[in-house]
A and B are shown apart, each in its own frame.
Chain A
Amino acid sequence: MSKEQEEMSKSEGSEHEAPPFFKDWKGLYAFVLIFELALILLFVLITQSLGS
């Protein structure tokens, strides 16, 4: 197998490689979106408690 082919198989094969700490990419994506939702909730709280 040439170096080029090795690289190709490496990058294509890694499509199914899971991210650290999560079973699959969907888990990480859900975590990112929940984190954002938590941030927005925090901002809502800040606006309600400190807003003029």
Chain B
Amino acid sequence: MTNLGWVDWTVLLGTLIFIVAYGVWKSRGSKNIKGYLLGDRSSNWWTIGLSVMATQASAITFLSTPGQAFMEGMGFVQFYFGLPLAMVIISAVFIPLYYKLKVYTAYEFLENRFNNKTRLLTASLFLLQRGLAAGITIYAPAIILSQIIGWSLNFTILFIGIMVIIYTVSGGTKAVSQTHKQQMAVIFIGMFIACAFLVNFISDQIGFSEGIKLAGSMGKMEVIDWNFDPSSRYNIWSGIIGGLFLQLSYFGTDQSQVQRYLGGRSLKESRLGLMFNALLKIPMQFFILFVGVLVFLFYQFVLPPLHFNQANVNDVKASEYAVEYEELENLHRDLHDQKRSLILEGVRSEDQINNLAVKEIALMDRGKELIKQANPLAETQDDDYIFITYVINYLPIGIVGLLLAVIFSAAMSSTSAELNALASTATVDIYKRNINQKGDDKHYLASSKWFTFLFGAFAIAFAALASLFDNLIEAVNILGSLFYGTILGVFLVAFFIKKVKGNAVFIAAIISQLFIIALYTLNRLEIIDIGYLWYNLIAPAMVVLFSLIGQAFITSENK
């Protein structure tokens, strides 16, 4: 835990309160459901573009991504290579149809194309995956933030949840889009300032270009991996092909994204918003990863902790393994001093420096083993703590508050979009369509607000309970990736294969979903080894194939 000074608290709380108040004020007076769920279709292209980016950028993006670059280098950027092409396809094919039918949700389109049960199936899959994910969107950063700023976990969860509920319930889509602009501004300013401090520090040590060469020689600047290996998480092929299908699914069929561009002033504004995202997303992710590489360079000159999660370190130091852990810390200090001396003397030999780096990693791994022995329930993966540890310990007063505001803003921006989309789907696709069709506009507006509140309360409760269950985050993430491909498959059939009708696609979706669950089970049992990004290609292919077979069978039966 770090003691924040009053300046940092003022910057942090002032920024967050301003964003919430601005959101409530700018969106006051939504009097009908169109205003509440579509923001009166008044957003311009850059509001849409920023809102789409803010929805995807969760707090974990800013905690985890620099840590990932610190540990594994820049290769994660390949994950986004399919995004621009997905944006083009959505802009050219998906959005015109959504606009033509004037839908409130993506799933509403499926009833026009197929039938109500297909709409209900996809809307339910969305509510299930996104409803659970909303809790995790709050919970995952809350674990880290609570440790850093010294709040209890439950208070941190409540703080994030209530801030989001206030403006999302009050102003709906307009509040979400307006606050996304402020949140993205805070995020960009904060990350640029962090980057500037790092560049300045490294330039003072060995010069910026020498620093980048050093990072390269230590394996951190390998952006592209050409190896076609289905089991590897990130290479150019899984990024372009698997990534294309994942991004198509996320941006084209996930209501939390679809709602952002359906609120556009016109088709043109919505399309431009997506093109804005297509152009900026890869550079933005590259930049965040690059900040992680700079943090890695920073810690070549400043002694990093043996383990970045201070709570784990406190636990091991209070256990019978304290002496052994402190010995490891001393060895780590000696090793780091040797490495730093070599770097400052201008030695760039891979063998010399990398040998020391390998020994350093071995010490860190041994430290993790001791942490696990001291507390078998401890989560020893500490990548997510790397960037925030740098921020808290080495950035000046005031900037620390701003960077914490970045993380809170990112948590709030993605959660608000999720609650907004969950409420829209629950109101429009489930309640209005299947339960109560006789209400007036005022009734559905009130229902939307209640659903937003209830999903917010559920997300808070789920986040608070999450700490009681092991591996819950992983389970929810897996659940999401298992459904995405099937939902995309249904939409691809809807858009591109006109002869397939509702019953065929419905049965195909059920079969494909079961197949993907079976595939995942085989993966877990280590009988096969397929990276999860490929599910997003396999599932839609299965839906398309079974839809065609099913439709041919139904047609011949009817003859």
Contacts and interface: CB of A to CB of B under 8 A. Distances in A.
Contacts of A25: 91-92, 271
A52 B216 contact: yes
Interface stretch (B80-88, B125-133, B486-494): B80-88
B43 to A, nearest CB: 13
B137 to A, nearest CB: 28
Interface stretch (B152-160, B278-286, B375-383): B278-286
Contact of B221 (A7, A10, A15, A46): A46
Interface string A9-52: 01110110101100001001100110110011001101101111
A34 B221 CA distance: 23
Interface residues of A, number: 27
Given A32-B84, A32-B279, A33-B85, A47 B268 contact: no
Nearest to A39: B282
Nearest to B216: A50
Given A14-B267, A14-B268, A17-B267, A51 B279 contact: no
Contacts of A51: 216, 219, 221-222
B100 A12 contact: yes
Given A29-B92, A43-B224, A47-B221, A36 B212 contact: no
A32 B224 contact: no
Contacts of B92: 25, 29
Given A50-B213, A52-B216, A11 B91 contact: no
B81 A40 contact: yes
Contacts of B282: 36, 39
Contact of A47 (B84, B222, B267, B279): B222
A44 B81 CA distance: 13
Interface string B211-228: 011011111011110000
Contacts of B96: 15
Given A43-B223, A50-B216, A51-B222, A19 B100 contact: no
B272 interface: yes
Contacts of B84: 32-33, 35-36
B99 interface: yes
B124 interface: no
Given A25-B271, A32-B278, A47-B221, 16 more contacts: A11-B99, A15-B100, A19-B271, A29-B91, A29-B92, A32-B84, A33-B84, A33-B85, A33-B88, A40-B236, A46-B74, A50-B212, A51-B216, A51-B221, A51-B222, A52-B219
B102 interface: yes
6 contacts: A17-B268, A29-B91, A39-B286, A50-B215, A51-B216, A52-B222
Contacts of A35: 84, 279
B15 to A, nearest CB: 32
Contact of A43 (B77, B268, B272): B77
B266 interface: yes
Contacts of B85: 33, 36
A35 B218 CA distance: 29
Contacts of A43: 74, 77, 223-224, 286
B334 interface: no
Contacts of A15: 96, 99-100, 267
Contacts of B41: 7
A31 to B, nearest CB: 9
A11 B81 contact: no
A39 B102 CA distance: 36
Given A32-B84, A32-B88, A52 B350 contact: yes
A21 to B, nearest CB: 11
A33 B279 CA distance: 9
A16 B409 CA distance: 37
B275 interface: yes
Given A39-B283, A43-B224, A46-B221, A32 B275 contact: yes
A49 B350 CA distance: 15
Given A19-B275, A32-B88, A40-B81, A11 B266 contact: yes
A43 B96 CA distance: 34
B178 to A, nearest CB: 22
Among all A-B residue pairs, the 3 with the closest Cβ atoms:
A50-B216, A50-B221, A43-B223
Interface string B87-115: 11001100010011010000000000000
B266 A10 contact: yes
A12 B96 CA distance: 8
A51 to B, nearest CB: 4
Given A43-B224, A52-B222, A11 B87 contact: no
A10 B217 CA distance: 57
Interface in B268-319: 268, 271-272, 275, 278-279, 282-283, 286
A41 to B, nearest CB: 10
B313 to A, nearest CB: 30
Contacts of B216: 49-52
